Amino acid sequence: MSHDDPADSRSQRERMLAGDLYQGSDPVLAAESDQARRLCARFNACDPADPHRREILAELLGSLGEGTEIRAPFYCDYGYQLRIGARCFANFGLVALDVAAITIGDDVQIGPNVQLLTPTHPLEPGPRRDKWEAALPITIGDNVWLGGGAIILPGVTVGANSVIGAGAVVTRDVPPAVVAVGNPARVVRRLAG
């Protein structure tokens, strides 16, 4: 079925959640995105000692593991597609565009200004002009370290115990227990398991 097939009766939200082409300007999706931006703004405006910060994140995110800390500012598209495990730490400036699911394992360390980008757009000018988009999920395994400024692109899985170097642009899956650096990121070292 093409993106403009009249026989496709699914809502734009159902299309988005299925990973199919959808239009983000849909009123339901726009309202959900607006709500996420409001919650992000509340979280980002909180004093770091405010005990309500975690409550805001719990309302915003799909799940938030015990002992996980996210430093403001933090930004996401919808929130409910983002699941973060236990004992994780995300430094200042995390951007998690969770149009598709983003799953972050336990004990993950995220440096400042990391971007987790699930959205994709058609290469053809017509559908792009008509505002069609899609997304692919991102998975970050347990005990991963994402260095400052790293960018993880749509559809990527980073295997457990791996390290992504600062400023790396990860365009394809990274196996477990390796160090990957550069643009595009490439494996430069294996780590002891």
User: What CATH number did the domain enclosing 164 receive?
Assistant: 2.160.10.10
- Domains contained in the chain, number: 1
> Running DSSP on this structure, what letter comes out for residue 174?
B
Residue 6 lies in a domain: no
Using an 8 Å Cβ cutoff, are 3 and 21 in contact?
yes
pLDDT at 2: 47
Among 10, 38, 52, 121, which one carries the catalytic annotation?
A: 121
The share of the chain scoring above pLDDT 90, in percent, equals 93
The residue segments making up the domain with residue 157 are 12-190
Residue 7 lies in a domain: no
> Which residue stretches of the chain have pLDDT < 50?
1-2, 6
Residue 118 lies in a domain: yes
Tell me the pLDDT tens digit for each residue of 137-177: 999 999 999 999 999 999 999 999 999 999 999 999 999 99
Residue 64 lies in a domain: yes
CB neighbourhood size of 90 (10 A): 23
pLDDT at 8: 74
Cα–Cα distances in angstroms (integers) from residue 47 to residues 107, 144, 193, in the given order: 25, 28, 39
β-pairing, 63-64 with 82-84? parallel
Residue 141 lies in a domain: yes
Residue 5 lies in a domain: no
Residue 42 lies in a domain: yes
pLDDT at 5: 58
List, in sequence order, every residue forming a beta bridge with 53; answer none if it has no partner. none
pLDDT at 164: 98
For residues 33 and 14, give the distance between their C-alpha atoms in angstroms, rounded to a whole number: 15
Known catalytic membership, residue 3: no
Residue 3 lies in a domain: no
For residues 189 and 51, give the distance between their C-alpha atoms in angstroms, rounded to a whole number: 41
What pTM was computed for the model?
A: 0.94
